[in-house]
Chain A
Amino acid sequence: MKSIIEGSVGRIRGVFTGERLRPEFSAAFAHAIWRTSGRIILGLLSLLIAALIWHGLSTVVFGPFLVPTPITVATTFFDMLNTGELIQHSIASLLRVAAGFVIGSAVAILVGLIMGRIQVIHDLFDPIIEFLRFLSPTAMIPIAVIWFGIGETSKVFLIFWGVFFFVLINTIAGVVRTPQGRINALLCLGASRWQVFTKVVLPSAIPSIVVGMRVALASAFISIIPAELLAADSGLGYLLQSSSLLLQTDRMFVALATVAAVGFAADRIFRIAVAIVFRRHLQT
C-alpha cells in the first residue's frame, strides 16, 4: 500500500515537473489522476460536510440527547464492535436477509420464467400479482405473526415478501423481451422448444433478472428492520427497538448506520460478483 502511494506521488511529481513523463502524456495523465482521485476527494469531502452539519444539528439545534454527536456515535460504534454485540446482531440480520433473498429470488425466477413463457399461466396469475405487490412487508407483519408465529420463519417470510415481486416482475419482463429474431434463429438451426428456452430465453433474461435482484436486495434490507422490530431477540431491528425503549439514541444511530452500511456493502459485493459471473451476458 505504501509503495503504491509513493509510486503515484512520484508519478504525479513527474507530471508536474515533466521529469519522468513525456509532455504529451502528462496532461492526459494528470486528467486521469484527477478523474479517479478527484472523485475520492469529493466523496470524502461530502462525508466531512455531512458530519459537520450533523454535529451542528446535534450541539446547536436539537441537543445531544435527541441527536447524539458524530463523535459519541463513533465511540459507541467502536465499543459495540469491541464487545462483539454489533457483529452478533449484524450476522443475525444478515442471515435472515440472505435466507429471504435467496428463497425469494429463486422462487420468483422460477415462477417468472414459467409465466413469461406460457401465456395461459401468465394470464392466470398476473392479476393476483398485480394486486398483491402493493402490500409492503410491513403490512404483512400482523398476518405473518399469526401464520408463522414470532420465530425465524415469519421474519424470513417478510424478507421473502419484500424480494419476491421485484424479481418476479423483472424476470417476466426479461423473458418476454427476448428478441424474436434470436428465437427464430435458433429454431431454424433445428432447436427444440427446450433448447430455445435454455440457450436463448434464459440467458437473454439475465440482465433483467439481475436488475430485479438488485432492487430486491435493497428491499430486503429495507424490510429487515420492520421484520425484527416485533418480538425478536437479535438483529439490527431488535437493537434499534430495544435501544429506543431505553432512550439510547446513540445506539439507535449505530444500528441505523450499520443497516445502511451492510446493505451498501452487500449491494457492492452482489454487483461485482454478478459482473464477473455474467460478464458476457451483461455487456450492452
Chain B
Amino acid sequence: MNALNPVQPIFHVRAVDKTFGGRRPYVALNDVNLEVRGGEFLCILGASGCGKSTLLNLLAGFEAPTSGEVCFRGAPVLGPSRERVMFFQDSHAALLPWETVEENAGLGLRLQHADPVESAAVVEKCLRVVGLLDHRHKLPSEISGGMRQRLQIARALAVNPEVFLMDEPFGALDAITRRRMHVALHEVWESTAKTIVFVTHDIVEALTLADRIVIMNVGPRSRIRLEIKVDLPRPRDPADVGFGRLFKEIEKELSLDEVHH
C-alpha cells in the first residue's frame, strides 16, 4: 500500500523538452520538472496552447520527450499502459459508438481476454458506481454528454488502473452537469484512492478538485511556473474565503501571460 502514500512520487518528470518537428520546429515544452505523488489529485492549469495536454500525453506515453525523462514508478515511460488510463474530452471519439454502454465499460477487460462471468460482475459494479446501470443496453449516442463521461470513468475503473489522466474531460459539458461530474469524480477518487492528473483551464474546476495545482506558461517554450497547494477542506465551497483568495492569486498569475504576449 506504499503506492497510496501521498509522499511517495509515482511520476518523475525531469528536465523534459518536447519539440514538434517539421520545417519550423515548435518547442512546446522547455525544461519541465514535475513530481506526481501516489494518491494525490493534481491539476495542471493553464491557458489554451500552454502545452498542458502535451505534458499529459507524455505521462500517458502517447508521446516521447525530445530530451529529459518521464518515469513511472522509477522506469521510463515507453508507451501507453493500462496502469495509466487517459480520459478524453471528446467522448464520442473515445468511446466505441457501435457498442452499448455495457460493452464499452467492459472493453478493457475484453482486451485482456478476462473471464466473461467475472467481467460482467466487474462491469456491473463499475456502472453502478457511476450511476449508469439503468442505461447499460443503450448506445453512447443515446445517452447524454455527462453520461458518456461517466461511462469513460466506468470503463477506466473496470481495468483498475493506478492513475487517471484526464484531459479537460468536462470541458464540453454545461455548467450544471459539470458540477455534478465534479461531485461524482470526487467520490470515485475518495473511495478508490487513485492518483489523478487533471488538465484544465478553469480555475474554479482546479480549486474544486485538486490537492495541488501546477500552473503552466503560455507556449511556446512552456514550463511550470508556479505550484500551489490547495489546503481547503473538502468538499470545496466556492463561497469560502480561502477559495476566493486562491482564485484571485491564480487569476493574477495567469493574467501575467497577457502582459507578456
A and B physically associate: yes
> Which residues of A are in contact with B by a Cβ distance under 8 Å?
179-182, 184-192, 195, 199-200, 203, 280-281, 283
Name B94's contact: one of A185, A199, A281 (CB within 8 Å): A185
Taking the complex as formed, is B60 at the interface, i.e. its CB lies under 8 A from any CB of chain A? yes
How far is it, in angstroms, between the C-alpha of A283 and the C-alpha of B81 when the chains are bound?
30
Taking the complex as formed, is B82 at the interface, i.e. its CB lies under 8 A from any CB of chain A? yes
The interface stretch among B106-114, B115-123, B174-182 is B106-114
Chain A's interface: helix, strand, loop or mixed, by majority? helix
Q: A185-B86, A185-B88, A283-B139 are in contact. Are A190 and B108 (CB under 8 A)?
A: yes
Q: Are B159 and A189 in contact (CB under 8 A)?
A: yes
Q: Are B94 and A182 in contact (CB under 8 A)?
A: yes
Name the residue among A187, A199, A281, A283 with the largest chain B CB count within 10 angstroms: A187
> Which residues of B are in contact with A by a Cβ distance under 8 Å?
60-62, 79-82, 84-86, 88, 90, 93-99, 107-108, 111-112, 139, 141, 155-156, 159, 165
How far is it, in angstroms, between the C-alpha of A184 and the C-alpha of B62 when the chains are bound?
7
What residue of chain B has the Cβ atom nearest to residue A195's Cβ? B111
Name A200's contact: one of B62, B80, B96 (CB within 8 Å): B96
Q: Are B80 and A187 in contact (CB under 8 A)?
A: yes
Shortest 4 CB-CB contacts between residues of A and residues of B: A190-B82, A280-B98, A179-B93, A189-B108
Q: Are B111 and A190 in contact (CB under 8 A)?
A: yes
Residues of chain A lying within 8 A (CB to CB) of residue B111: 186, 189-192, 195, 199
In the complex, 18 of the A-B residue pairs with CB atoms within 8 angstroms, ordered by the A residue number, are A179-B93, A181-B90, A181-B94, A182-B96, A184-B62, A187-B62, A187-B79, A188-B61, A188-B82, A188-B86, A188-B165, A190-B159, A191-B111, A199-B96, A200-B96, A280-B97, A280-B99, A280-B139
How far is it, in angstroms, between the C-alpha of A191 and the C-alpha of B108 when the chains are bound?
8
How far is it, in angstroms, between the C-alpha of A199 and the C-alpha of B62 when the chains are bound?
19
Residues of chain B lying within 8 A (CB to CB) of residue A281: 97-98
Residues of chain A lying within 8 A (CB to CB) of residue B79: 187
Residues of chain A lying within 8 A (CB to CB) of residue B97: 280-281, 283
How far is it, in angstroms, between the C-alpha of A185 and the C-alpha of B103 when the chains are bound?
15
What residue of chain B has the Cβ atom nearest to residue A283's Cβ? B141
Residues of chain A lying within 8 A (CB to CB) of residue B95: 182, 185
Residues of chain A lying within 8 A (CB to CB) of residue B82: 188-190
Q: Are A188 and B94 in contact (CB under 8 A)?
A: no
Residues of chain A lying within 8 A (CB to CB) of residue B96: 182, 199-200, 203
Q: Are B98 and A188 in contact (CB under 8 A)?
A: no
Residues of chain B lying within 8 A (CB to CB) of residue A280: 97-99, 139
Name A190's contact: one of B81, B86, B99 (CB within 8 Å): B81
How far is it, in angstroms, between the C-alpha of A189 and the C-alpha of B154 when the chains are bound?
12
Q: Are A184 and B98 in contact (CB under 8 A)?
A: no
Residues of chain B lying within 8 A (CB to CB) of residue A200: 96
How far is it, in angstroms, between the C-alpha of A176 and the C-alpha of B182 when the chains are bound?
35
Q: Are A186 and B107 in contact (CB under 8 A)?
A: yes
How far is it, in angstroms, between the C-alpha of A187 and the C-alpha of B111 when the chains are bound?
10
How far is it, in angstroms, between the C-alpha of A281 and the C-alpha of B111 when the chains are bound?
20
A96 to chain B, nearest CB (A): 34
Q: Are B86 and A184 in contact (CB under 8 A)?
A: yes
Q: Are A181 and B108 in contact (CB under 8 A)?
A: no
A147 to chain B, nearest CB (A): 41
How far is it, in angstroms, between the C-alpha of A192 and the C-alpha of B84 when the chains are bound?
15
Q: Are B88 and A181 in contact (CB under 8 A)?
A: yes
What residue of chain B has the Cβ atom nearest to residue A279's Cβ? B98
Q: Are B93 and A188 in contact (CB under 8 A)?
A: no
Given contacts A185-B86, A186-B107, 11 further A-B contacts (CB under 8 A): A181-B94, A182-B96, A184-B88, A185-B94, A188-B62, A188-B165, A189-B85, A189-B107, A190-B112, A190-B159, A199-B96
How far is it, in angstroms, between the C-alpha of A179 and the C-alpha of B88 when the chains are bound?
12
A277 to chain B, nearest CB (A): 12
A22 to chain B, nearest CB (A): 30
What residue of chain A has the Cβ atom nearest to residue B98's Cβ? A280
What residue of chain A has the Cβ atom nearest to residue B92's Cβ? A179
B53 to chain A, nearest CB (A): 11
Residues of chain A lying within 8 A (CB to CB) of residue B62: 184, 187-188
A274 to chain B, nearest CB (A): 14
Residues of chain A lying within 8 A (CB to CB) of residue B107: 186, 189, 199
How far is it, in angstroms, between the C-alpha of A188 and the C-alpha of B166 when the chains are bound?
12
Residues of chain B lying within 8 A (CB to CB) of residue A182: 93-96
Q: A187-B80, A189-B107, A190-B82 are in contact. Are A181 and B98 (CB under 8 A)?
A: no
Name A188's contact: one of B85, B90, B141 (CB within 8 Å): B85
How far is it, in angstroms, between the C-alpha of A257 and the C-alpha of B79 when the chains are bound?
59
A199 to chain B, nearest CB (A): 7
How far is it, in angstroms, between the C-alpha of A51 and the C-alpha of B149 when the chains are bound?
57
Name the residue among A180, A185, A281 with the largest chain B CB count within 10 angstroms: A185
What residue of chain B has the Cβ atom nearest to residue A284's Cβ? B141
How far is it, in angstroms, between the C-alpha of A41 and the C-alpha of B82 when the chains are bound?
59
